[in-house]
Every structure is written in C-alpha cells, then in structure tokens.
Amino acid sequence: MTNLKILITGASGYVGSRIYKDLKDAGFDVVGTFNNTTLFEELIKADLTDSQQVKDLIAEVKPQVIVHTAADAHTNTCEQNPDFAQKLNVEGTRYLVDEAKLHAIRFIHLSTFACFNENASSVYAKTKIQAEKMVEKLENYVIIRLSMVVGLSPNQVSKNFYNDLLQAYKANVPFEADSSWQFEMSYLGNVLKLIKQIINMPEVKQVMVPYA
C-alpha cells in the first residue's frame, strides 16, 4: 500500500471502475472522476475536454499519481465521431499532462496495443498514438498498453466483448464472436496487480499486460 493520493480518470468506465474499486478496497487513498454516468456516488464530475475543469480538478484533489483511463476506446464510435475522439483521447490527455508536468505528478497512462503500429489507420489508434507521444514528454510516467481487456468489472453495461459475453451467459442465450481475432487478451486482474506494483516505480516506462 502507499499513502500517495491517486486520481483515477474515467472511474465509471469498464477498466477505470475496477481499478478505482480495487484500490479503494485495498486501502489506497483514491479519488475518481466521471463525466456522464457515475457508478460510485463519491466520484467527482469532470469534463476532461475542458482545460479549466482539469485545472480545477487537480487543484482540488492535489494528486501525487494520476491513473488516466478515461478515453473513447470504441473503434466504431471514434470513426463515427472523430472530432470527439480527438478532444477526449488527445486534448483531454494533453490537459492532464500539462498539469502533471506543472505539479510533478506521476502519470500512469492506459493505452492500447494498437500503438505498436505507428502507421495505423483507425481514428482510435491515431488518437492514442498522439496521446502517448505527449505522455512521453513527462519525466515521471508509465504507459500501459492493453490488448482486448477481459475480466469482471463493477461496470457491466459498457459495450465490450467481456460484458456482452457475461450478459449472454446470464440470459442463457447464444453468444457470437469474431473467430478471426488472433491476439492475447489482457486480464483485468493483472492490470490491477501491475498498477499496484508500478505506482512507486519511476524506472518503469512502458509495459504490455498479457492474459496470464
């Protein structure tokens, strides 16, 4: 455990809510944000695409570590609304990075394995690559590249492979998936273990989270 204050963005999201709940249950000093829907009543509402709201958030919370999970992580919605993807995935990250640099805050950035291909054509991958480049300008950061994330989360309504599978199982109905996918998944439990380990490890800069 650490006595550092930790700010988790996107703490109502599929990944962010699990990180927030597990760290809080483990006794960490955590504060979480949401924008549209909150899973926990104590979360702080913050629009990360608004630079002043980000400045106010950091001034209020005074975190020593930021775990940045908030993003539009859906390839389809990024393609349908590229302007919003740019605002949230890139500009939102930029505002947080600026504050992290100003206040010497450790920055843990959740990214995607899609960034391994710098010539990626999807809007989602392009925005995440831009975000990574900004994070890399910090002195105290780590980038965690995730593959398809699977595992139980407090957020069981967000549309993703695992939640869709879980809902199909609960409803006792068939579940169809694209059998052409060929890559290792990232287990959400391992993401938690990793974050707990690297909070105080500034020498770690980039990691990939496998399933096992």
DSSP annotation string for 65-115: EEEE--S---HHHHHH-HHHHIIIIIIHHHHHHHHHHHHT-EEEEEEEGGG
Residues 64, 107: Cα–Cα separation, whole Å: 9
Enclosing H/E stretch for 134: helix 123-135
- Residue 1 DSSP symbol: -
Residues 89, 103: Cα–Cα separation, whole Å: 21
Q: Are 144 and 108 in contact (CB under 8 A)?
A: yes
Among all chains, which residue has been given the structure tokens 């979480």?
Answer: 32
pLDDT of residue 117: 73
Which of 7, 32, 187 shows the shortest CA–CA distance to 107?
7
Q: Are 45 and 51 in contact (CB under 8 A)?
A: no
Residues 98, 117: Cα–Cα separation, whole Å: 26
Opening angle at CA 152, ends 130 and 124, nearest 5: 20
pLDDT of residue 166: 62
pTM of the model: 0.86
pLDDT of residue 212: 39
Q: Encoding tokens for residue 23?
A: 């760290």
Q: What is the pLDDT along the chain (212 residues), one digit of tens a residue?
A: 568 999 999 999 989 999 999 999 999 999 999 998 887 899 999 999 999 999 999 999 999 999 999 998 777 888 899 999 999 999 999 999 999 999 999 999 999 877 777 777 789 889 999 999 999 999 999 999 887 777 777 776 677 665 566 676 677 788 676 666 666 778 888 888 888 888 877 666 656 554 43
For residue 63, how far is the Cα from the chain centroid?
A: 17
Q: Encoding tokens for residue 135?
A: 């994070």
pLDDT of residue 95: 98
Helix (H, G, I), strand (E, B) or coil at 119: coil
pLDDT of residue 37: 82
